[in-house]
Amino acid sequence: MSGRFDLNALQTIFSEVLTNTTQVFMGIELLPCAAPAPDADISGLLILIGEQPIVIRIAVSSAAAGHFVSLMTGIAETELSEALVSDGIAELTNIVSGRAKAIINADSARYRLTPPAIIEGNSHRLLFKSRTAGFCQNYRSSDGRFGLTFELIYV
Amino acid sequence: MNEKKILAVDDSAMIRKIISGAAAVLGYGLLEAGNGQEALVIAERQPGAIALVLLDINMPVMSGLEFLRAFRANPDNDTIPVAIVSTESESSSVFAAIKLGAQAYILKPFSIEEMERKIVELIGGPEL
């Protein structure tokens, strides 16, 4: 993806990578939904640095985070530490961002990623003062039990 | 339990847990490091114990490629296979890892079962 920044192409790349990553990593399908965003207790954040800096966010409730990390590790939810759950959401965000970056850079773009960060706090929100545009999509797991919010913020 | 161990080098505790689960199923022990520098210390302290290194690229303190360069500089490590485990799929990263002596490249994400299969491909399965 070189030259002019293509918002729609970027959204498509990230959506496909997110869906594929969760299928491989968790063995479940995430389906886009129109339901309101679930509570965000843990957010994984990364910044894609390049022609158009982009903040990438994956937000989940504590219950969803535990369920997803349990699926990824094969460890029962009751056996997971809070630190491991947070690390799991950070790594999920890192993998989705890394794979999307590789696709974007395949066409001569030169984007880089910051290390992943985690924000924790019951029902937190992120506010961007200089926010100019954004893409936000809520997902439900195919069993209908848990939600995930994926967001791109173009700063 | 096999006496040989797998050295998992990744700054994500969750990735190390997944590798730990796969190693346990196959009867391998696990050594863990959060970056390349920790991994070098482990390798120096436990010569002969490591059957396989599973190595992330992007880590703090010492990257996977820096580790690999230092690890391969010791002839005692010549026969120990190293597999890169990373989201970095860009050709420059893959070529750099192979040039430094990596035998395999495992792309994240992967399931526990896929990791088990890769380990068996590289060093074999449980001793029956």
Q: Tell me the pLDDT tens digit for each residue of B71-105.
A: 999 999 999 999 999 987 777 778 889 999 999 99
Give the span between the Cα atoms of A37 and A127, in whole angstroms. Answer: 15
Distance of CA A22 to the CA centre of its chain: 10
Mean pLDDT for A70-75 is 93
Computed over every residue of chain A, the mean pLDDT equals 89
| Residues of A at the B interface, defined by Cβ within 8 angstroms | 21, 24-25, 27, 69, 72-75, 83-84, 87-88, 90-91, 94-95, 97-99, 102, 105-106, 115
CB B63 within 8 A of CB B38: no
| B36-53 average pLDDT score | 94
pTM: 0.91
Which is more confidently placed, A32 or B35? Answer: B35
- Tens digit of each residue's pLDDT (9 = 90 or more) over B45-66: 988 899 999 999 989 999 999 9
The mean pLDDT value for A68-94 works out to 96
Q: Rounded to whole angstroms, how far apart are CA atoms B39 and B5? A: 13
Q: Given this model, what pLDDT does residue B1 score?
A: 55
Nearest CB among A83, A95, A105 relative to B108 is that of A95
From A100's Cα to the closest Cα of chain B, the distance in A is 10
Between A151 and B88, where is the model more confident?
A151
* Helix ranges (DSSP H) in chain A: 7-26, 62-73, 82-105
User: For residue B12, which residues of chain A lie inside 8 Å, CB to CB?
Assistant: 87-88, 90-91, 94
Element housing B66 (H / E): helix B64-72
Task: Give the pLDDT band of residue B126 (cuts 50, 70, 90).
Answer: low
For residues A33-54, average pLDDT: 89
Confidence band of B127 (pLDDT split at 50, 70, 90)? low
- The residue-averaged pLDDT of B5-20 equals 96
pLDDT at A6 over 80: no
Determine the Cα–Cα distance for residues B83 and B118; give it in Å rounded to an integer: 9
Cβ of A88 within 8 Å of Cβ of B108? The answer is no
Tell me what pLDDT residue A70 has: 95
ipTM attached to this prediction: 0.88
Q: Which of B87, B89, B90 would you mutate first to test chain A, the one with the most A CBs within 10 A?
A: B87
Give yes or no for residue B128 having a pLDDT over 60: no
pLDDT at A3: 46
Give the least confident one: A25-29, A127-131, A139-143: A127-131
**Residue B13: which of A21, A87, A95 has the nearest Cβ?**
A87
| Smallest Cα distance from A129 to chain B, Å | 30
